[in-house]
């Protein structure tokens, strides 16, 4: 059966997200795992959980690729349909929660440096992380409720033409359950986290730009982190969650919802940019990785290597210490600490 343009687009997006996101996220996963095992700082725990969420989504993408390549029919065993949907949607909302937690951690480290340094504990972040996973997974369990509590209405079952669909079309009775849950998902797991992140980053930038003794490069990193995170919310998460609002108003799933969901899938390939702005360890790891690739290129294609080399080095100060990241944003100069609120 020939693939339609719709199926081709879906497959292309899934393939791009998988190829672009999996290597970077696995590299970040290893880096944060080493850091957390050695010395667990709150930001490292948050970034580690965000990486786990992205890796889970990416590992289940091949199942979605097979679905797209099969004319949006489900070619795999039936039990993998709800499992894939559960992990897929849970990962999306877990990402919004941890992105918000990172924004709060950054803001507290700058706005209340003394209090934050005295009171931050890895145990607090571990408890919060467990709560985020529980909150997102409990909401997304609606996939299993539709699958097993309403079996007579389940579109995953074989239809008269012997074509199996996975969580794609819904009956009116299913929509009575799904649409209110989706609206609640939008409010609880998107709108609230988005406005919290917006508040934190706007105020973080305002505080940093008012301090003349902060390096210009660190201010640029702060702006970069804020812009990447808010764009992530706006591009990857907003369209999909807006479809929940539209669907609730229209009492049906919007036809364009599948395209909005594709944007959410791209989040897993964009998060490594947030890792880069947030952690010196990631900067060093990426730099070492690119340097290694550059050495291979130098041996194979010397002219290509000259183009890649300038991008591979991290910024270091006169003492050889990397100051280009926001991972130590809370460690402001003594003048700022003296003004801690």
Other CB atoms within 10 A of residue 112 CB: 15
Contact 73, 165 (CB under 8 A): yes
Domains and CATH numbers, the chain: 5-279+325-337 (1.20.1070.10)
**Contacts with 51 (C-beta within 8 Å, 6 or more apart), sequence order:** 25, 28, 29, 32, 271, 275
Which string of DSSP letters, residue by residue, matches 114-135?
A: HHHHHH--HHHHHHHHHHHHHH
Q: How far apart are CA 100 and CA 15, in angstroms?
A: 27
CA–CA dist 323, 328 (Å, integer): 8
User: Average pLDDT of 93-110?
Assistant: 93
Residue 219 has a pLDDT of 77
Q: Is the pLDDT score of 289 beyond 80?
A: no
Measured distance CA(330)–CA(251) in Å, rounded: 47
pLDDT over 50 (residue 90): yes
Helix (H, G, I), strand (E, B) or coil at 322: strand
Q: What is the pLDDT of residues 242-259, one digit of tens each?
A: 999 999 999 988 889 989
Per the confidence metrics, is the pTM higher than 0.85? no
Lowest-pLDDT choice from 12-16, 76-80, 151-155, 177-181? 151-155
Tokens representing residue 222 in the block: 């702060």
Distance CA 72, CA 70 (A): 5
Extract the tokens encoding 292.
């290694």
Question: Which pLDDT score, from 0 to 100, does residue 154 have?
Answer: 44
């Amino acid at each position: 059966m020939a693939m339609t343009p719709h199926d081709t687009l879906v497959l292309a997006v899934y393939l791009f997200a998988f190829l672009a996101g999996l290597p970077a996220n696995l590299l970040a996963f290893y880096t944060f795992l080493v850091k957390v095992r050695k010395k667990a700082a709150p930001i490292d725990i948050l970034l580690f959980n965000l990486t786990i969420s992205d890796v889970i989504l990416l590992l289940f993408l091949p199942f979605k690729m097979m679905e797209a390549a099969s004319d949006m029919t489900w070619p795999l065993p039936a039990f993998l349909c709800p499992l894939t949907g559960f992990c897929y949607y849970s990962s999306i909302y877990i990402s919004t929660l941890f992105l918000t937690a990172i924004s709060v951690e950054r803001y507290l480290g700058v706005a209340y440096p003394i209090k934050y340094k005295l009171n931050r504990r890895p145990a607090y972040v571990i408890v919060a992380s467990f709560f985020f996973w529980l909150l997102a997974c409990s909401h997304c369990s609606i996939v299993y409720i539709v699958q097993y509590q309403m079996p007579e209405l389940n579109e995953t079952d074989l239809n008269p033409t012997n074509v199996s669909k996975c969580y794609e079309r819904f009956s009116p009775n299913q929509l009575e359950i799904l649409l209110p849950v989706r609206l609640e998902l939008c409010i609880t797991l998107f709108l609230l986290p988005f406005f919290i992140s917006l508040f934190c980053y706007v105020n973080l930038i305002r505080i940093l730009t008012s301090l003349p003794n902060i390096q210009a490069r660190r201010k640029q990193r702060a702006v970069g982190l804020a812009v990447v995170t808010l764009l992530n919310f706006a591009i990857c998460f907003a369209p999909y969650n807006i479809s929940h609002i539209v669907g609730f108003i229209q009492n049906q799933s919007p036809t364009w919802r599948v395209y909005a969901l594709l944007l959410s899938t791209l989040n897993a390939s964009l998060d490594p940019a947030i890792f880069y702005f947030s952690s010196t360890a990631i900067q060093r790891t990426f730099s070492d990785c690119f340097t290694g690739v550059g050495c291979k290129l130098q041996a194979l294609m010397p002219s290509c290597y000259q183009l890649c080399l300038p991008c591979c080095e991290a910024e270091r100060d006169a003492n050889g210490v990397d100051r280009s990241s926001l991972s130590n944003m809370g460690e402001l100069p003594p003048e700022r600490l003296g003004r801690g609120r």
